Chains A and B, each alone.
Chain A
Amino acid sequence: MAEKIFAEAINEAIAEEMRRDSSVFIMGEDIRLSVYGATANLYKEFGEERVLDTPLSENGFFGAAIGASLVGMRPIVETVTSFMWVAMDQLISQAAKMRYMFGGQATLPVVYRASMMYGSGSAAHHSDRPYPMFMNMPGIKIAVPANSTDAKGLLKTAVRDDDPVIIFEDANLYGTRSEILEDEIPFGKAEIVKSGTDCTIVGIAASVNLSLDVANNLEKEGISCEVINPRTLVPLDKETILKSVEKTGRLVIVDPAHKVCSAASEISSIVAEEGFWDLQSPIIKVASEQVHIPYAPSLEKLVYPNIEKVSKAVKKTLE
C-alpha cells in the first residue's frame, strides 16, 4: 500500500466511514476549512448536515455528540486536548458513566479525536497530553496512534465500536509519512515494532518512533531492544508487554505525559505485579517532567522524553 501523511490517513478514515455509514457525522471547530489539517474536503463531499462547524461551546457540543449517539448516530468530534477541560463534565459524568449507571441501557458510539499539540512552543494551555487521566476513569476506550497505519486503522475501529472512544492524536506526527499497512486495527492488540532480546521499550504515541530511533542507535552498540507500540491504552494489551519482558528481563516505558500516574506508571505497575520475577533490573519510566509546559524553547525541550534520556535509561537497565 501507498505511503500516507498521518493527517491524510485520518482524513481517509473519516471519509471512508462516512461513505459506508450514513449515521456517521463529524463536528468540531473550524473543521469545514480543515484548520487542523485532518478534515479537508469533507464539507465538499458530505455537506453541511454531516460536517458541522460548531460554536466555541465544547461542553455543549461534546454533550450533543453523546445525545446523538444515544439515539442512533455515530458522531466524530474533533478537538484539541486542552479544550477537553471545559467539557469534562460531559466526558466524565455522561460519556464514561452513562452505560454502567443505566444498567447497560445506554449505547454511546461516539468518537472524540483530540489533538495533542506539544513540543512546539504552545506553552501551558495548548500542550496537554492528558490520556492518563482518562485511563483512571472507567468507561472510555483510549487509542494512541503512533503512525499513519494506526491513525487510519484505529479511527475506523473507533467509529465502528459501540463504546465511547477518545483518540489522542499526537500532533507531532501530523506531517509524518508512513506506509498504510493495515486497514482496520483491533483495540487491545499491541504491535511489536521491532524485535529484540536485551530490553523492552514501550512507547506511547510519537514516543514509539523515538523508542525505535533509540533501538536502532543502540543496535550499533550491540544492544538489542524490543520496541512495543500498545496502540490502545484502554484496553491495554498487557500480555504482549509481559511476554516481551519475560524474554528481555528489562523494561523502559517512554511516555510524553506527566510522570506521576502516567500511562508509564500503569504499565510499570502491571509488570511489577505480574512480571516481577522476570525482571533483571528495575523498571524505568521516561516521562515528562512534573511541571507545566514552559514557553521558552530552552526550557520546553527539557520536559519531554528524548533520545538521550531514553538511551540512558536503557543502558541503566543493563548495568
Chain B
Amino acid sequence: MEITKEIQKLMLERMWTIRTFEEKVMEVHEAGEFVGAAHPYIGEEAVAVGVCLALKDTDYIAGNHRSHGHPLAKGGSIKKAMAEIYGRVDGYCNGKGGSMHLADFSVGILGESGIVASSVPVATGAGLASKIGKKDFVSVVFFGDGASNQGACHESMNLASIWKLPVIFVCENNQFAITTSYQNSVAVDNVSDRAQAYNMPGILVDGQNVEAMYEATTEAVKRARNGEGPTLIEGLTYRFEEHSLGLGRVRRGEYRTEEEINKWRDRDPILIHSKKLIDRGILSEEECKEIESNSYSETDEAVEFARNSSFPEPSDLYEDMWANPIPKP
C-alpha cells in the first residue's frame, strides 16, 4: 500500500508530539504542578497515530484512561490538552475533566473514560447513528488488553457485528493491566482472536509500526464505509512507563524485568519510523531532529499556556451540568 510522503512525515510529527507531551507531563507531575493521576502513553504512539491518520476529520474516536495520545493523534490542540491536565479554564473541558477525560470534541472525539471499557458501547452507538442516519462517518474506539476482558467490550462487538456497524475496535495491547500480564488474563493467545466469536475480521498488527497500523485501519475503514461491518485490530505494543504517575508502590522487577523493558525500548516506534524515513530519503537526519526539537518547543509553549491560564472560578462549579438547565436543588 502506498502511503504518501506527507502522511509518512505527519506520522513522525504526531508521534513526537505525543512523546514530548508525555515526557513533559511526567516532568511537571514530578514537580507537583498538577493534581491526580496521569497514565503515560509513551511507547504506544504508533497505535494512535497510525489509526487516526487513516481517518477523516468527520470520523469519531473514543478513548480510555491512557488517552493523552488520542486527541493529539487526531489533531487536537496541544495547548488545550496541557491546560486541561493543569485543571485550567482554557482546557478542553474547562478544567472539569483532567488527564483521564482529555476530550476535544472539536476534532471528533466522543470522550475518554476512566472506567475501563466504558467507551466501547458509546463508540458503538456512534456507529449505529451513522448507519441509521445514513451518514458516511466511522467510529473508532481505543481500549486495552485489560478492557478486552470486560463485558462491555464483548456486548459491543456482538452488537456491531449483528447490525453491521461502521465501528473499528482498536485494542492497544500494551501487555499489562497495571501489573497483570495479558498472558495471564486473556483466555486466547491474542486479543484479535476474539473477533472470531463475533464473526468479524480480527487483525494482529505490530503496534510499534505506525505504517502497519495505518494500513490495517485503512482497510477496516474501507469495509466500514462499504457497509461490511466492524473490524477488530489488535496493535501489539508495550507500555514503556509504569501504569500511572504517582503509583510508586509498584516496582518494575516485581512484574516485569528491566531486560524485557529494554527489549521493547529498542523497538521504539519513533526510532523505527525515523529510520525508515531516512532510509527512504524522505527526511534527512537533521530534518528528523528538527521535528523532534519543534515538538519540544511546542510542548514548552503548551506548558506556558497552561501555567498562565486560570483555575475555574467558584461560579463555574454549576456550569456545564445541563444542556437545558434546571434549578440547583
Contact = CB atoms under 8 A, between A and B. Distances in A.
Interface of A: 23, 25, 49-50, 52, 54-55, 57, 59-73, 75, 89-90, 93-94, 98-109, 138-139, 141, 161-163, 187-188, 234-236, 238, 270
A89 B116 CA distance: 10
Contact of B122 (A25, A63, A163, A270): A63
A138 to B, nearest CB: 6
B323 A107 contact: yes
Interface of B: 60, 62, 91-97, 101, 103, 105, 110-111, 113-115, 118-133, 137, 139, 151-152, 155-156, 158-159, 162-163, 319-324, 326-327, 329
Q: What are the 6 tightest A-B residue pairs by CB atom distance, in nearest-first order? A: A67-B125, A63-B121, A60-B155, A103-B93, A162-B323, A64-B125
Contacts of A139: 321
A64 B111 contact: no
A141 B321 CA distance: 11
B126 A70 contact: yes
Contacts, number: 163
A67 B118 contact: no
A234 B93 contact: no
A60 B121 contact: yes
Given A60-B121, A64-B159, 19 more contacts: A54-B159, A57-B159, A60-B155, A63-B156, A64-B125, A67-B124, A67-B125, A67-B129, A68-B125, A73-B129, A89-B115, A89-B152, A93-B115, A99-B323, A102-B93, A103-B97, A188-B327, A234-B326, A235-B326
Contacts of B115: 89, 93
Given A93-B118, A94-B122, A60 B129 contact: no
A64 B156 contact: yes
A70 B323 contact: no
Given A60-B156, A102-B96, A163-B324, A69 B105 contact: no
B320 A59 contact: no
Most buried by A among B113, B131, B155, B327: B155
A78 B320 CA distance: 27
B129 A72 contact: yes
Given A64-B159, A65-B125, A93-B113, A236 B329 contact: yes
Contacts of A138: 321
B105 A162 contact: no
A103 B125 contact: no
Contacts of A108: 323
A105 B126 contact: no
B327 A101 contact: no
Most buried by A among B95, B162, B323: B323
Contacts of B101: 101-102
B93 A64 contact: no
Contacts of A64: 121-122, 124-125, 128, 156, 159
B321 A99 contact: yes
Contacts of B323: 99, 107-109, 161-163
A294 B152 CA distance: 31
B18 to A, nearest CB: 21
A70 B123 CA distance: 10
Contacts of B103: 102, 105-106
A317 to B, nearest CB: 25
Contact of A67 (B121, B319, B320): B121
A68 B132 contact: yes
Nearest to B126: A67
13 contacts: A50-B132, A54-B159, A60-B124, A62-B121, A63-B118, A63-B121, A64-B125, A64-B159, A67-B125, A67-B127, A70-B111, A72-B133, A100-B321
Nearest to A162: B323
Given A66-B122, A188-B327, A60 B91 contact: no
Contact of B128 (A59, A62, A67, A141): A67
Given A61-B159, A68-B128, A93-B113, A101 B121 contact: no
